């Protein structure tokens, strides 16, 4: 797992934009994006240029980037790469939910568990 504690504002902005693209490809709506990134309940637009992020929000960006990287290491086609997060999963961690549902209803510990699950996909 890779987390950078001291990241320049420019690097954070690039990561933020990249994560928004990933979440869009996962099929997330604006409300889900805001929930996943702890951006608040305002359903207005997300302005990556004018939105300073907290350390907790930057951590969420890192989790999502690491999850995506793990999926890229396992899946070679876009349908599975981006569709995996919305596929029902019967593993104990998910209990019939989708990985995305676990993230939406969870804490950073859940993000960490999903990330490690995805990392193990690419190992096996």
The model's pLDDT over 40-72, given as tens digits with 9 standing for 90+, comes to: 876 566 766 667 889 999 999 999 999 999 999
What is residue 2's predicted lDDT score, i.e. its pLDDT? 55
Q: Is residue 2 part of a domain?
A: no
Give the C-alpha separation, 37 to 22, whole Å: 12
Contact 65, 18 (CB under 8 A): yes
Q: Is residue 91 part of a domain?
A: yes
What is residue 7's predicted lDDT score, i.e. its pLDDT? 77
Q: Is residue 59 part of a domain?
A: yes
What is residue 69's predicted lDDT score, i.e. its pLDDT? 96
The phi, psi pair for 80, rounded to 5°, reads -80, -40
* Host domain of residue 52: 9-123
Q: Is residue 4 part of a domain?
A: no
Q: Is residue 45 part of a domain?
A: yes
Specify the range with the lowest mean pLDDT, choosing from 27-31, 79-83, 119-123: 119-123
Helix (H) or strand (E) holding 70: helix 55-74
Q: Is residue 1 part of a domain?
A: no
What is residue 5's predicted lDDT score, i.e. its pLDDT? 59
Q: Is residue 58 part of a domain?
A: yes
For 97-124, what is each residue's pLDDT tens digit?
999 999 999 899 999 999 999 999 866 5
What is residue 105's predicted lDDT score, i.e. its pLDDT? 92
Helix, strand and coil content of the chain, in percent to the nearest 5, comes to 60, 0, 40
Q: 8-44 burial, b for 16+ CB within 10 Å, e for fewer? A: eeeebbebbeebbebbeebebeeebbbbbbebeeeee
Q: Is residue 38 part of a domain?
A: yes
Number of domains into which the chain is organized:
1
Query: CB-based burial of residue 84 (10 Å sphere; 0-12 exposed, 13-18 middle, 19+ buried)?
Result: buried
pLDDT greater than 70 at residue 4: no
This model's pTM is above 0.85: yes
């Amino acid at each position: 797992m890779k987390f950078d504690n001291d990241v320049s504002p420019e690097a954070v902005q690039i990561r933020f934009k990249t994560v928004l693209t990933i979440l869009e490809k996962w099929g997330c709506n604006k409300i889900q994006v805001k929930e996943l990134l702890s951006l608040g309940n305002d359903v207005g637009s997300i302005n990556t240029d004018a939105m300073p992020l907290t350390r907790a929000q930057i951590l969420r960006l890192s989790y999502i980037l690491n999850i995506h990287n793990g999926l890229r290491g396992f899946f070679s086609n876009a349908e599975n790469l981006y569709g995996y997060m919305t596929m029902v999963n019967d593993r104990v961690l998910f209990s019939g939910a989708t990985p995305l549902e676990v993230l939406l209803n969870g804490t950073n510990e859940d993000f960490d568990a999903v990330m490690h699950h995805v990392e193990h996909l690419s190992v096996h």
